[in-house]
């Protein structure tokens, strides 16, 4: 079953028939052909399998997780694929990443959503743990969903990542988080995450070493 679903997810990806001067990949999600411009010199400028897993879940579970008119923020948006799919599914999306990635992110988001979405998504800078209250004040920022794909990998900013989840998450916010398990240090982040949030596995793909989680603040999962 795992291998069959993974094969279906990977069939959503296609490549240009001819080599072009810009590296790009294509994807079929939410009834649209999505073209993503990539770069090979940065982790955040390529599409990783966790993003495909999350996009597939959003599309195939759109009744249970209805995104229409919902306020969604994606942290570590990278190339923007998850934000684009959430936008195509009707959400009002804020796609975020580091300043050096915003140009490519903005290009991909605009190219794939203009005149196609109910709500035009916006792109904002978000450096984890920095100026959170200034840029995303708790009093005025309310997100129905926080989305994250492959944000836990070999980097020194796990404390800041946890702080960012904590700042953005209200009592009724749902976190959808696709994680690829790699090294023990990164894997231990899950245990730290569970000190603040209840965590539920909603999909698991052993062949990809990827788990998709749903999370909410402690005690709110069944409320």
- The CATH number of whichever domain residue 116 belongs to comes to 3.40.50.150
Domain coverage including residue 106: 2-217
In a domain, 64, yes or no: yes
Number of structural domains in the chain: 1
In a domain, 223, yes or no: no
Core vs surface per residue 151-178: b (16+ CB within 10 A) or e: bbeeeeebeebbbbbeebbeeebbbbbb
Question: What share of the chain has pLDDT > 90, as a percent?
Answer: 81
Whether residue 90 is predicted with pLDDT greater than 90 in this model: the reply is yes
In a domain, 192, yes or no: yes
In a domain, 11, yes or no: yes
What average pLDDT does this structure show over 84-93? 98
**pTM (predicted TM-score):** 0.94
For residue 2, give every residue at least 6 positions away whose Cβ sits within 8 Å of its Cβ, in sequence order, or none: 204, 205, 206, 207
C-alpha closest to that of 47 among 84, 21, 73, 20 = 84
- Residue 205 DSSP one-character state: E
Inter-axis angle of helices 81-88 and 102-113, nearest 10: 30
What average pLDDT does this structure show over 26-48? 84
In a domain, 129, yes or no: yes
C-alpha closest to that of 186 among 147, 149, 148, 155 = 155
**Beta-strand (E) ranges in 38-192?**
71-74, 92-97, 122-125, 145-149, 174-180
pLDDT, position 59: 98
In a domain, 41, yes or no: yes
In a domain, 28, yes or no: yes
Whether residue 223 is predicted with pLDDT greater than 60 in this model: the reply is no
What average pLDDT does this structure show over 202-208? 94
Confidence class of residue 1 from pLDDT cuts 50, 70 and 90? confident
In a domain, 85, yes or no: yes
């Amino acid at each position: 079953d795992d291998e069959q679903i993974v094969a279906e997810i990977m069939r959503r990806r296609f490549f240009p028939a001819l080599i072009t001067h810009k590296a790009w990949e294509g994807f079929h999600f939410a009834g649209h052909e999505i073209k993503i411009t990539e770069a090979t010199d940065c982790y955040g400028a390529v599409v990783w399998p966790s993003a495909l897993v999350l996009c597939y879940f959003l599309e195939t579970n759109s009744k249970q997780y209805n995104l229409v008119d919902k306020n969604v923020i994606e942290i570590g948006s990278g190339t923007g694929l998850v934000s684009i799919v959430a936008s195509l599914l009707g959400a009002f999306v804020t796609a975020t990443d580091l300043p050096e990635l915003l140009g490519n992110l903005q290009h991909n988001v605009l190219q794939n959503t203009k005149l196609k979405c109910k709500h035009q998504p916006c792109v904002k800078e978000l450096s984890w743990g920095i100026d959170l209250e200034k840029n995303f004040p708790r009093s005025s920022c309310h997100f129905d969903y926080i989305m994250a794909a492959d944000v836990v990998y070999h980097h020194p900013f796990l404390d800041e990542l946890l702080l960012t989840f904590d700042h953005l998450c209200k009592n009724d916010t749902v976190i959808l988080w696709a994680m690829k398990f790699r090294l023990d240090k990164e894997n231990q982040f899950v245990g730290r995450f569970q000190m603040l949030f209840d965590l539920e596995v909603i999909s698991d793909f052993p062949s990809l070493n990827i788990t998709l989680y749903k999370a909410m603040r402690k005690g709110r999962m069944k409320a």
